[in-house]
Structure 1
């Protein structure tokens, strides 16, 4: 059964300006997300997609990003597509709420990054 759906958009140019500010990247992204983005020609588009993913997850669960916390998850790219890697605390929270699977889709095009999350329980 679907327990929640969330979608978010992030302006890549706005993210490009934000990542230029000292400390911004380390506050919002995991070491893995930083390494992945830095390895790409347009790092800002990958930061924007990861941020949109976290926002979409927070919306899908009805938690809000502030309540969920930026350290609750990181976006990991796999051969089968992007997935979340959850902190132990957040994984417990998902289990307590009966969420058994989390689906993630990312895209970036024409200056925007998009993410969609579906929670299954």
Structure 2
């Protein structure tokens, strides 16, 4: 059963301005493993898509009480398909709402990054 849907859109130029103006922002939003892939720093569009994913996750869950940005980590499997690893407050909120699975899709092109999240489970 679908329990929630979230979508978020990020303007890449605005995201770049924010990260340039506040250099520590990336460290607050992303874990070290999210900032790097295959030993290299991720591109700004890729990071913006991950930020959109986190925002879409919050919308799909419907609550951000007690949530920290590092509690929701965007990871990829061997085929580079994205998913979430949840910890802390956001994991507890998801459990309490009966959410067992999240489906994540991200993309970036034309100056924008977008992410969709579907929360699936059994209503608590």
TM-score by length of 1: 0.86
- Alpha-carbon RMSD across the aligned residues, in angstroms, is 2.2
Shift of residue 88 of structure 1?
Answer: 4.8
Give a deviation string over 1:79-107, Cα, whole Å, max 9, x none. Answer: 15101111155333322211111110001
Q: Which has the higher helix share?
A: 1
1:81 aligned partner: 81
Give a deviation string over 1:21-45, Cα, whole Å, max 9, x none. Answer: 32111111111111139836x7110
1:19–1:44 contact (8 Å) kept in structure 2:
no
1:23 aligned partner: 24
1:6–1:59 contact (8 Å) kept in structure 2:
yes
Q: SS at 1:7's partner residue?
A: strand
Q: What stretches of structure 1 move > 3 A for 4+ residues in a row?
A: none
Q: SS at 2:36's partner residue?
A: helix
Structure 2: gaps of 5 or more residues: none
Aligned residues between the structures: 119
Moved more, 18-27 or 6-15: 18-27
After the TM superposition, which residues 1-121 of structure 1 pair with which residues of structure 2 at under 5 Å, given as runs?
Answer: 1-20=1-20, 21-36=22-37, 39=40, 43-64=43-64, 67-78=66-77, 79=79, 81-121=81-121
TM-score by length of 2: 0.84
Q: Rate the CA distance shift 1:23–1:50 in 2: closer, same or farther, 3 A.
A: same
